[in-house]
Structure 1
């Protein structure tokens, strides 16, 4: 069984449990018989509240599958997952939809902004749909954190790619979610815009106490995190604290060599 347990850091817990999300013996398989492919194999992991966690691994390692399962976007073959104190694997579809809406934020490569709405309207859209009024003080703080104060009346077509992704980040933060999941959130940005967005994500953890889990293939992006989980063949094979871009790249290259050697000998992790 693969186990990775976070060490909670000070701050961001708000007096509640230090674990924002956890998975126990999570297995995800596709197909049956000879066509069966195991994307995740008995994975255990705790995600600490108030931390920035990056998930890395080669193509097909299971990193996006793990994020999708943790976020309730994909069902499990077996195992259990909790967001906060709620076991999401026991929820019915409507309950799960409500939990994703109220407790989880999402940031993807595609900005997913509505072109007819301006920035502030895109930011508050999920709450508007849910019939909830935004916390004005929190919204002001979020907008300030991501540096959008002078762009709120602009529509997406009037914003750069980096600014549009900042709107997407603010939208994810605005509802005070339990946890935010990002799937390659800087994948469509140039290095400068990507660094800006990653800096805002870092600030949202440090200054707003947010919890973020990000899938990435980029060592520089991973270096903004507090912790990096490495997956190979559906298993967590390493857990790095306080990463630097150089250390992440070295670890990735080492794992790539070991995985290639294992494949050549017919082994799996």
Structure 2
């Protein structure tokens, strides 16, 4: 059944998650009683039409937006039990996030942007790990450059390396290829796929692109704030067909 918890180890999950924006007649239900789990060490794509709740689900999973009712768990940690300080610490240490707009600080070099989460936590980077990450995403030789000196694809590589720098439990990416050309987008998705296959990272992306979804192990389809389908071992063609059926 769509939306039922997975039986494998889970990196993140929701139980009866509901998110309502506004009140009264203007209230909008973005998530409607969603129970779903995301397996550890897997690449999952969340898809659905505009307004289906896919970005809201990701933001709630990442602790960026609180639920109206229900629960979100990162591992076994119930996010609703955390105060603001503890939630900030959890996001910094256990969650990586890749934004469509990159969100790099223009005055910092690529290396400084990558290690920023560690610096904010007062922690020293693991140089061997960072060397592995930066070489994997192809940034060797560009680490002393500021964002204005990098192409869009290179800036997005910095964003991916930053998301991986703390070895988070989950990397979330919201439309990560939205501002990239097709070649740069394919490179980025390849890096995320490599992070799952070689680093055993858990990756969850929101995308509208069936080609991007084809890099994932699983696709979750949302409509009207509910999970309506799940596709294992997706291909772009299968995703397109299922989305047409659901539209």
Query: What band does the TM-score fall into relative to the shorter chain?
Result: over 0.9
1:100 aligns with 2:63: no
Q: 2:242 aligns with which of 235, 244, 251?
A: 251
1:1-269 matches, cutoff 5 A: 3-6=3-6, 8=8, 18-256=9-247
Q: CA RMSD in A?
A: 1.3
Check the 8 A contact 2:21/2:27 in 1, yes or no.
yes
Q: Provide, for residues 182-236 of structure 1, a one-character-per-residue CA deviation record: whole Å limited to 9, x for no partner.
A: 0001100000000001100100110011111100000011111100000000000
Q: CA deviation at 1:3?
A: 2.2
Runs ≥4 residues deviating over 6 A: none
3-state SS in 2 of match to 1:61:
coil
Check the 8 A contact 1:2/1:43 in 2, yes or no.
no
Which structure has the larger Rg over C-alpha atoms?
A: 1
Deviates more, 1:66-75 or 1:148-157: 148-157
TM-score for both structures, normalised by structure 2: 0.97
How far apart, CA to CA, are the structure 2 residues paired with 1:222 and 1:164?
22
Query: 1:263 corresponds to which residue?
Result: none
3-state SS in 2 of match to 1:22:
strand
Check the 8 A contact 1:26/1:42 in 2, yes or no.
yes
Check the 8 A contact 1:4/1:239 in 2, yes or no.
no
Check the 8 A contact 1:25/1:44 in 2, yes or no.
yes
Q: CA deviation at 1:7?
A: 6.0
Structure 1 residues 27 and 196: alpha-carbon distance in aligned structure 2, compared to 1, 3 A threshold: same
3-state SS in 2 of match to 1:3:
coil
Which sections of structure 1, spanning at least 5 residues, go unmatched?
9-17, 257-269
